[in-house]
Amino acid sequence: MALDPVRDDDADRAQAAARRAMRVAGIDVRPAESLADLRRVREILDDVFRPSPGESEASLDLLVALAHTGQYLVLASDLSDGDHPTLGTSLGFFCAPTRSALHSHATAVLEAGRGRQIGWALKLHQRTWALTRGLDSITWTFDPLIRRNAWFNLAKLGARPTAFAIDFYGAIADAVNAGDETDRLILSWQLRSEPVVRACDGAPLVSPVADLLADGLPRLLETGPRGVPVRADLPPGARSGLVQLPPDIESMRMADPALALRWRRELRAVLIEAADHKLEVIGIGHEGWCVLGTAALERIAR
């Protein structure tokens, strides 16, 4: 069963932010409960991720179980269309053993809903849902090579990477991941923290990359001629560095799979070396530059 909703000032402020986001996106977000709802969840996931023929991103019986046990499972309906078609979905589940956090497994928006900030509205709805159930954090994973997702997660939402996982899911036979390795950053979204509150109120957390470049912060990975990744070792004693993500790795995978795989391996090498020196991704700026540093250096990403 779901945890009983509770009221607090953080949840009220989060709800106001979520309502603003839904108005801007022109959507309503509601629980997916009926079998028809759950079939629609599966259809949206399959349309976005395009699994192999005969496969599905989520079986109907699994979705029924998630809905029955009070997990986060919603549909976003288009209020600008009189028929209110569903344009997106999001699902997550409570984390073991204490159910004090939510793990967000998937958020998907159909092509017809792109460019309307529906994903933003869904995440803010998810945050409100978690806070009203007494949760303080949401975790999820993302592919660190996808620049737009890095910006969305780190700057727009204010989430913080807590770990880097090599080939986390193993091989996935869908149109998004097929032929690639599933390296992921694992994120923690501290729902009540001041930076997250500011981000959700519309003030993204943008690292001052131009200043850091001018100060000579080491460039550990950047885009070279013809889009080739150029990697440098972490200088001895360095406690920070910069990593530039490729502009569009998803198109690169289609046009030049070998180059995309090279980016995968080079970014992996940088993040492994950084972890060995107790460095992590602490922020992102413009032009796809991510900042690596320690907790003591977190101020440069705020």
Q: List the 289-293 sheet strands across, edge first.
A: 229-231, 219-223, 241-244, 289-293, 280-284
Tokens of 119: 């994903």
Torsion angle, alpha carbons of 105, 92, 158, 276, to 10: -50
Query: From 3.20.20.105, 3.40.630.30, 3.30.70.360, 3.40.640.10, which CATH number describes the 9-200 domain?
Result: 3.40.630.30
Using alpha carbons, select from 9, 2, 88 the residue that is nearest to residue 43: 88
| pTM score, whole prediction | 0.91
Of 49, 99, 88, 91, the residue nearest 71 (C-alpha): 91
Q: What residue ranges do the domains of the chain occupy? A: 9-200, 209-301
Spell out the SS3 assignment of 271-287.
HHHHHHCCCEEEEECHH
SS (H, E, C) 163-180: EEECCCCCCCCECCCCCC
Pairing of strands 219-223, 241-244: parallel
Q: What is the pLDDT of residue 295?
A: 62
**How do the pLDDT tens digits run along the chain, 302 residues long?**
344 555 578 999 999 999 999 999 999 999 999 999 999 999 999 999 998 888 899 999 999 999 999 999 999 999 999 899 999 999 999 998 887 899 999 999 999 999 999 999 999 999 999 999 999 999 999 999 999 999 999 999 999 999 999 999 988 777 677 678 899 999 999 999 999 999 999 999 999 999 999 999 999 999 999 999 999 999 998 999 999 999 999 999 999 999 999 999 999 999 999 999 999 999 999 999 999 998 655 444 43
Pick from 67, 69, 70: nearest CA to 42: 67
Side chain identity at residue 257, one-letter code:
P
